[in-house]
Amino acid sequence: MPELPEAQTIVSDLKKVLPGLKITGFWTDIASFGKIKDKAAGKKILGLERKGKNILIHLSDNLTLLVHQKMTGHLLYGKWQKKNNAWKSMIQGPLNDPENRFIHLLFFLSNGYQLALCDMRKFAKALTWPTDKLTRLKDIKNLGPDPFDKNFTFGRFKEIISKKSGKIKTVLMDQSLISGIGNIYSDEILWFSAVHPLKPAKKLKEKEIKKIYRTIRFILKKAIRARGSSYIDYRDAFGRKGKYQEMHCVYQMTGMKCKKKDGGIIEKIKIGGRSAHFCPVHQKL
């Protein structure tokens, strides 16, 4: 699932090309997206921002398009034409990557390009909402602080952690507590912090909480610079792979030697139906 770094990469990409363009047409093969058509038609794109894992595209007339990419979705910018009942990229290059072929939503733009939602599993969410009422939308209202918000201080983080009896990995992934962190980056953050994913959050020592707090921004910034993780299907807005998967230290490294060279072999366990990867030597329970 695309997390904060992947969503931020796509927002940064689209900020370079979308503002000022008008939506001139619409296509989808997913019934639930059909209601977007009449609301978005003719609207001008004013700007973009990220809220947690959500991508917000602000339109004219007090309207915002919200896209959550869910498990396998990613937004693409390019040109497509329909051939043999499938959308084919007219631009040679990364957009022809097989992972970019699952087009289920297209916005036709005033410059001749299109904004597409590619989603193999068809779990992605897209809806429109009045811009001035976004804080009432459940997808936004229920989000915890963003790791890059000014109000995400150590004091605030400690307060969040200290009250939770759940496993620290689960707490880090709870979007109502901290927004934007998912399975990949919670693993990486805890590996760097030398904290076992099963450790109860409220039992963490202050030095462990400080380490995690500092590491959250360190890892997320590093992943953004690398344009996200393309472990399987994620691609940026121009169809290119991210590079942070090449820097993973623990995620999907089961059976490999720990990169800290401490003699540990990376293990995998299940926590609440999600996988967790850790080194049993320096991440002791």
Q: What are the pLDDT digits (tens) for 93-126? A: 999 999 999 999 999 999 999 999 999 999 999 9
Percent of the chain with pLDDT over 70: 100
Domain residue spans of the chain: 4-141, 154-278
User: Model confidence at 56, in pLDDT bands (50, 70, 90)?
Assistant: very high
CATH 3.20.190.10 fits 4-141, yes or no: yes
Rounded to an integer, the average pLDDT of 77-103 is 97
Residue 243 — pLDDT band, cuts 50, 70, 90?
A: very high
Q: Which residues are catalytic, by number?
A: 2-3, 53, 274
Topology given in CATH for the domain delimited by 154-278: Helicase, Ruva Protein; domain 3 (1.10.8)
**For the chain, what is the HEC assignment?**
CCCHHHHHHHHHHHHCCCCCCEEEEEEECCHHHCCHHHHHCCCEEEEEEEECCEEEEEECCCEEEEEECCCCEEEEEECEEEECCEEEECCCCHHHCHHHCCEEEEEEECCCCEEEEEECCCCCEEEEEEHHHHHHCHHHHCCCCCCCCCCCCHHHHHHHHHCCCCEHHHHHHCCCCCCCCCHHHHHHHHHHHCCCCCCEHHHCCHHHHHHHHHHHHHHHHHHHHCCCCCCCCCCCCCCCCCCHHHHCCCCCCCCCECCCCCCCECEEEEECCEEEEECCCCCCC
